[in-house]
Chains A and B, each alone.
Chain A
């Protein structure tokens, strides 16, 4: 499991910078970033090397910060690499709420997904031989 750090900010210029500045000062390295918006609220989603330190630093900066568990897995960096995993998830009725990718991980591409039932998804992916990675692999 990968611990995603997410922050709710106002959807206006400079807010992503404010978050990244806080993380930089705490010597937290971000591995991936995904910004979503609702019009007035921006959700900044982050995969970092040290989630606890990131949360503490952001809390100290009075940000509205929390964490969610995502599933991380590696796929071959080639055409059709992601296709097989998506097929398995679809066939097992697992809905992906959102997903994004990480900087390349060795020979493969790192992907994180947010699903409703983490335990079920992990079990299915493991049984199918998909290579999972966890927070420990990112530090």
Chain B
């Protein structure tokens, strides 16, 4: 089995918890002394740094939310002087003002280590050629995986996103073995291969590391088939680190969290009470090693289940299952909670080829799924179109328990993604328009 830091990645749980406890108590002291909003929150909650002695005391601490970051925009939550900060990233800000995060030199090294661990977990070594096709810039995807690939000692290609034909040429000519890209971009590259008659047999790809947006098992199978590789799920958010907060291993059965740096908790999304291990709820992270931007009990809005059972890969680090949705992506349709991920799973379960789709919500809570037509989707009869429509409505409506309608868009008409795909369009007054 391939590890990057075997001692930590396979540490017995009691040893890991001891390390977490020690790091947590010293981190809480640091933020209490250096971050005004944290001191104010802790004082309001009646908690003192010396009350936090171990991971068991975590639940006594107040939560941090995205709104706290907006209220203290841009640098109000930084825990070190700006002279110690060497890098800034910012979130895409699709649902409000962008949030700014900072990194010290040690934070950048820590991030590179986490990303190298992710690449090693999926079988990466210094002999690999890693093409980073995430966007480079304020978005953490590109630079995050870039530093990780270099830390691993692999050949790193800073391809960034876009220029799709060139991406395919690099796969072929540079002998890329690992591609880092969003799952929707992987699918749009596969589509381009078909158009240009490019064959996956010309590639040496063995793995794709896909993150930054939700995707389904059906999409995984399509990416694996289309590019001739294994596709792995990676998770991260800029507030906590960027990609590689957690990543799958070769077993493809959940993403191992770098628990020596980030303590995960699962809380009830309504009451915010911690839930027992194994239950599904909102994922909350506490950073215990980062210097510049160590968020405490940050509510990620992702609905997740953690699995503490032993993994075949030998890692003892807890596995988080693929997020089942985001509390802020959730659409409320006629009083029913609908996650876009449910719609996608039902659609692709019904037709694995219907990967280009959009979800539109209109006044009166009308939910419409627009599927782009592809070659061979139906024959020349109206009957075959209506049969498809009827079945799709049936499958998706029963999965989300809300009646939906189906529209077909012309081939090539929907906007293609080069990064995070925008699939949800809420046209109701005050509706969010998010990924």
Contacts and interface: CB of A to CB of B under 8 A. Distances in A.
A41 B380 contact: no
Given A8-B378, A36-B382, A68-B379, A41 B411 contact: no
Given A43-B380, A97-B381, A64 B375 contact: yes
B408 interface: yes
B370 to A, nearest CB: 9
B336 interface: no
Nearest to B378: A8
Contact of A64 (B374, B381, B386): B374
Given A38-B385, A66-B379, A10 B374 contact: no
A62 interface: yes
Interface in A82-137: 97-98, 114
Max count, chain B CB within 10 A of own CB: residue among A6, A38, A68: A38
A9 interface: yes
Contacts of B411: 8, 62-64
B25 to A, nearest CB: 60
B366 to A, nearest CB: 15
B409 interface: yes
A41 B379 contact: no
Interface residues of A, number: 21
B335 interface: no
B380 A40 contact: no
Contacts of B374: 64
A15 interface: yes
Interface residues on B, range: 20 to 34
Contacts of A36: 382
B410 A68 contact: no
B382 A38 contact: yes
Nearest to A70: B380
Contacts of A9: 410
Interface string B381-407: 110011000000000000000000001
B382 A66 contact: no
B373 interface: yes
B105 interface: no
A74 interface: no
Nearest to A10: B410
A43 B382 contact: yes
Contacts of A98: 381
Given A40-B408, A68-B379, A10 B413 contact: yes
B122 to A, nearest CB: 34
Interface of B: 195, 373-382, 385-386, 407-413
12 contacts: A8-B377, A8-B385, A8-B408, A9-B410, A10-B408, A10-B409, A45-B380, A62-B411, A63-B411, A64-B375, A64-B410, A98-B381
Q: Which 6 A-B pairs have the closest CB atoms?
A: A10-B410, A64-B411, A6-B380, A62-B412, A40-B407, A64-B373
